[in-house]
């Protein structure tokens, strides 16, 4: 799947000499993959810095808003729940980095740990502790969970010790080599970018994502400058909700 998406990301813009229907489909595919690329790159490109990760997430939030509100498409494009989940995910990443800058300003911040990968790892660790005894009592499960949590706490303080499960260990995507192995789970030991929270500022990272979308030639038909200006002028504007629909407007 990722190899296919990477091929689509590398597509050039359609030519004016192409068949009009082919040209329209080609451009729509490229535009949709902008959202997919900016949304998942921060989690699979192991060479990105924390600033670049936040920039791409900001771009994903902006372009999702553009597509979701274009001609009042809304749920005709993606389910409203999925749209809000995307915006909340981006907001959560920024809030977590802000808290890390306050509490541990000289530490690294692993964006990949905000997902459910650690929870999956913990369940795997519990199963490994049990061995062939898959039917455990409540007391035994509590002991296994306690041990897994202690291991997780230790590895959180020393991420270089965490090699991950042998069957899930991978390199991810690099700028030079592309997809180096099948991408499934990435652990902190595999990340090579500069992810110290002291080296990132949230407001510039957010604005960088805004400019990335605003200056993208493949998105110029959406009149982005006007759309973003209208959003900024609204009272209590929120990307999670989007503007009021035409039927809701006063």
Per-residue pLDDT reduced to its tens digit, 5-54: 777 777 777 777 778 888 888 888 888 888 988 998 898 888 899 999 99
pLDDT at 19: 81
Q: Global pTM?
A: 0.73
| pLDDT confidence bin for 218, thresholds 50/70/90 | confident
As beta bridge partners, residue 173 has 45, 179
Tell me the pLDDT of the chain averaged across its residues. Answer: 79
pLDDT at 201: 94
Are residues 177 and 44 in contact, defined by beta-carbon separation less than 8 angstroms?
no
When mean pLDDT is compared over 29-33, 67-71, 81-85, the highest value belongs to 81-85
pLDDT at 184: 53
Average the pLDDT over 131-152 and give the result.
75
Q: What are the tokens at 208?
A: 């960088």
H/E element, 222: none
| 87: pLDDT strictly greater than 60 | yes
pLDDT at 142: 79
3-state secondary structure 116-163: CHHHHHHHHHHHHHHCCCCCCCHHHHHHHHHHHHHHHHHHHHCHHHCC
| pLDDT confidence bin for 241, thresholds 50/70/90 | low
| pLDDT confidence bin for 250, thresholds 50/70/90 | very low
Q: Where are the domains of the chain?
A: 2-110+191-233, 113-169
pLDDT at 170: 45
Beta strands in the chain (DSSP E): 173-174, 178-179
pLDDT at 247: 38
| 164: pLDDT strictly greater than 80 | no
pLDDT at 198: 92
Are residues 18 and 26 in contact, defined by beta-carbon separation less than 8 angstroms?
yes
């Amino acid at each position: 799947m990722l190899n296919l998406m990477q091929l689509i990301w590398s597509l050039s813009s359609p030519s004016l000499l192409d068949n009009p229907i082919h040209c329209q489909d080609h451009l729509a595919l490229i535009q949709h993959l902008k959202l997919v690329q900016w949304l998942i790159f921060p989690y699979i490109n192991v060479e990105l810095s924390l600033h670049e990760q936040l920039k791409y997430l900001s771009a994903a939030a902006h372009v999702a808003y553009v597509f979701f509100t274009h001609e009042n498409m809304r749920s005709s494009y993606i389910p409203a729940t999925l749209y809000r989940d995307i915006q909340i995910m981006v907001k959560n990443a920024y809030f977590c980095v802000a808290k890390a800058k306050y509490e541990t300003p000289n530490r690294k911040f692993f964006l990949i740990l905000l997902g459910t990968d650690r929870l999956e790892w913990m369940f795997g660790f519990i199963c490994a502790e049990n061995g062939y005894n898959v039917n455990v009592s409540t007391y035994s499960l509590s002991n296994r969970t306690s041990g897994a949590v202690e291991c997780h706490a230790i590895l959180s303080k020393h991420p270089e010790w965490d090699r991950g499960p042998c069957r899930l260990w991978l390199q991810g995507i690099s700028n030079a080599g592309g997809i180096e192995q099948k991408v499934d789970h990435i652990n902190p030991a595999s990340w090579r970018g500069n992810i110290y929270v002291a080296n990132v500022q949230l407001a510039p990272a957010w604005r960088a994502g805004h400019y990335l979308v605003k200056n993208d030639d493949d998105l110029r038909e959406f009149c982005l400058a006007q759309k973003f200006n209208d959003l900024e002028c609204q009272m209590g504007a929120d990307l999670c909700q989007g503007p009021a629909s035409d039927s809701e407007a006063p």
